Amino acid sequence: MQQKKNIYQGGFTLVELLVVLVVLGLLIGIVAPRAIGYLGGARSDTARIQMETFGAALDLYRLDMRRYPTAEAGLNALVVAPAGTTRWRGPYLNKPELPLDPWDNAYVYQSPGPGGAPYRILSYGADGKEGGEDEDADISVP
């Protein structure tokens, strides 16, 4: 007895493929805006963590130099000895150069800081300008 060959080969119909594409499109439409929101929050968190690291390095600098860097020396004093210093035992950061904020802008260092604080470190956010909301909002420590 001879068996018949099954000429039907398994596969997807056009309707099944269209249903899958519609479902994937809906999922992407729901998930993508939420994921983009998390990315913006992650950048702000990264900037805040970097600024706290600068704060710890500034405290080490202060222990050696008996003062915080001047506004003119800025955060660069954490990686390069200011001219005319003898007690500097840096670099106080692990990297040989000062990192930029997550939006590729330089951090702003103010000394003295507002309200009697010894210093203030700022990132102006995504727009790189003072003020703003959401992703453009300024982030500062302390």
Q: What is the CATH number of the domain that holds 100?
A: 3.30.700.10
Domain range for residue 45? Answer: 14-141
The reply to whether 38 falls in a domain is yes
The reply to whether 5 falls in a domain is no
The reply to whether 4 falls in a domain is no
**In Å, how far from its chain's centre is CA 12?**
44
The reply to whether 62 falls in a domain is yes
The reply to whether 2 falls in a domain is no
pTM over 0.85: no
pLDDT at position 77: 94
The reply to whether 7 falls in a domain is no
Sign of CA dihedral 101, 117, 111, 55: negative
The reply to whether 127 falls in a domain is yes
pLDDT at position 12: 75
**What is the DSSP track for 40-88?**
HHHHHHHHHHHHHHHHHHHHHHHHHHSSPPPTTTGGGGGTSPPTT-SS-
Q: What are the pLDDT digits (tens) for 19-49? A: 888 888 888 888 777 766 666 678 888 899 9
Instruction: Give the number of domains in the chain.
Output: 1
pLDDT classification of 137: cutoffs 50, 70, 90 = confident
The reply to whether 42 falls in a domain is yes
